[in-house]
């Protein structure tokens, strides 16, 4: 081998050896620093007591007044209540009941929330003009049978104080099909008049004829409804609502069933609005101009007939929340 070539080769080998040694030293120094920092962090965390764990919060909430076990008679008329305004929403409506029984094609094609008269769906609302919270009564006639409806108070942006008071105890919905937004999302959104503020505070289930009666008292902030019989979940046992489903009417169902089934429904609380499990959610005292709305519960369905939370009834309401004194 030529002397010059041998010299170059030896120089390259020596350089490679220096690189290996350098990398080894760098790795050792890095490991030492990481170990030293870890020990420092570990000592600091051991010396600082951990923050107390937040109080356990149930995922479920049974809203509103107690539900009667005996039949209740209709009492509202055009003289002591107001009719809610029906709205069809074909793209988002649900066409099966809480047990997943699908309605007949003839029923679907003829059903409309916008119909008028004694043969069409009707909802009457009475709201107390003044109370410690929003209080009233709802009576529903000829809605979809064995069906769950959310009861919401929705803000009207023209009454900005009420609009924001409702959103801050309930929820916000920005334009589009998204559903979960925070107070910070609302504050950051530039066109606040395009935002929906509402509080889901109760729900009801119609009988086989589409009828229901519900006494209303806003005491909860809810997120959505679930069917424990079919979707599971971890609700408190006392928060479950038993719904008897009798889908035997051939005029309403594509495949009528002669025997009834029991479905167990529950409401998920809007957990970010609670600081204690037994907290009673109420609106701040003051005068309110708002809307009561009914939204179909779709139970997070994945098929077209399962729906997407269509709002199908609304009516303007005005009331005053008075301060309560212990």
pLDDT tens digits, 193-244: 999 999 999 999 999 999 999 999 999 999 999 999 999 888 999 999 999 9
Assess if residue 23 is contained within a domain: no
Assess if residue 52 is contained within a domain: no
Q: What is the pLDDT of residue 55?
A: 63
Q: Which domain holds residue 256?
A: 83-321
Q: pLDDT confidence of 70, banded at 50, 70, 90?
A: confident
Number of folded domains in the chain? 1
Assess if residue 32 is contained within a domain: no
Q: What is the DSSP letter of 250?
A: T
Answer with the residue of higher pLDDT: 287 or 10. Answer: 287
Tens of pLDDT, residue by residue over 254-265, are 999 999 999 999
Tens of pLDDT, residue by residue over 79-96, are 999 999 999 999 999 999
Answer with the residue of higher pLDDT: 8 or 176. Answer: 176
Assess if residue 20 is contained within a domain: no
Assess if residue 90 is contained within a domain: yes
Torsions phi, psi for 104 (to 5 deg): -70, 150
Assess if residue 115 is contained within a domain: yes
Count of positions (residues) in the chain: 326
Q: What is the pLDDT of residue 179?
A: 85
Q: What is the pLDDT of residue 35?
A: 35
Gyration radius (Cα) of the chain, Å: 30
Q: Would you tell me how many other CB atoms lie within 10 Å of the CB of residue 250?
A: 11
Q: Is 218 exposed, middle or buried (0-12, 13-18, 19+ CB in 10 A)?
A: buried
Most confident of 113-122, 162-171, 294-303: 162-171
Q: What is the pLDDT of residue 118?
A: 79
What's the chain's average pLDDT?
86
Assess if residue 24 is contained within a domain: no
Q: What is the pLDDT of residue 167?
A: 98
């Amino acid at each position: 081998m030529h002397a010059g070539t041998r010299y170059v080769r030896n120089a390259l080998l020596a350089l490679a050896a220096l690189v290996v040694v350098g990398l080894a030293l760098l790795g050792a120094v890095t490991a030492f620093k990481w170990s030293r920092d870890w020990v420092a962090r570990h000592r600091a965390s051991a010396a600082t007591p951990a923050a107390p764990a937040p109080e356990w919060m149930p995922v479920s909430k049974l809203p509103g007044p107690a539900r009667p076990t005996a039949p209740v008679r209709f009492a509202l008329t055009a003289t002591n209540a107001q009719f809610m305004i029906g709205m069809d929403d074909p793209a988002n409506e649900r066409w099966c009941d809480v047990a997943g029984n699908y309605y007949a094609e003839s029923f679907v094609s003829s059903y409309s929330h916008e119909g008028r008269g004694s043969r069409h769906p009707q909802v009457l609302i009475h709201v107390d003009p003044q109370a410690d919270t929003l209080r009233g009564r709802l009576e529903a006639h000829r809605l979809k049978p064995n069906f769950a409806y959310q009861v919401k108070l929705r803000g009207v942006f023209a009454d900005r104080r009420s609009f924001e008071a409702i959103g801050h105890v309930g929820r916000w919905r920005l334009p589009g099909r998204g559903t979960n937004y925070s107070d910070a999302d609302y504050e950051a959104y530039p066109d606040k008049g395009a935002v929906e503020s509402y509080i889901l505070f109760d729900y009801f289930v119609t009988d086989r004829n589409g009828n229901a009666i519900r006494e209303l008292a806003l005491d909860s902030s809810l997120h959505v409804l679930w069917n424990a019989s079919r979707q599971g979940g971890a609700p408190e046992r006392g928060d479950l609502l038993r719904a008897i489903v009798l889908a035997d009417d051939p005029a309403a169902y594509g495949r009528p069933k002669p025997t009834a089934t029991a479905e167990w429904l529950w409401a998920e609380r809007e957990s970010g609005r609670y600081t204690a499990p037994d907290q009673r959610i109420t609106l701040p005292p003051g005068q309110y101009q708002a809307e009561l709305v009914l939204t179909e519960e779709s139970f997070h369905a994945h098929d077209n007939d399962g729906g997407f939370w269509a709002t199908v009834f609304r009516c303007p309401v005005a009331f005053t929340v008075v301060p309560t004194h212990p």
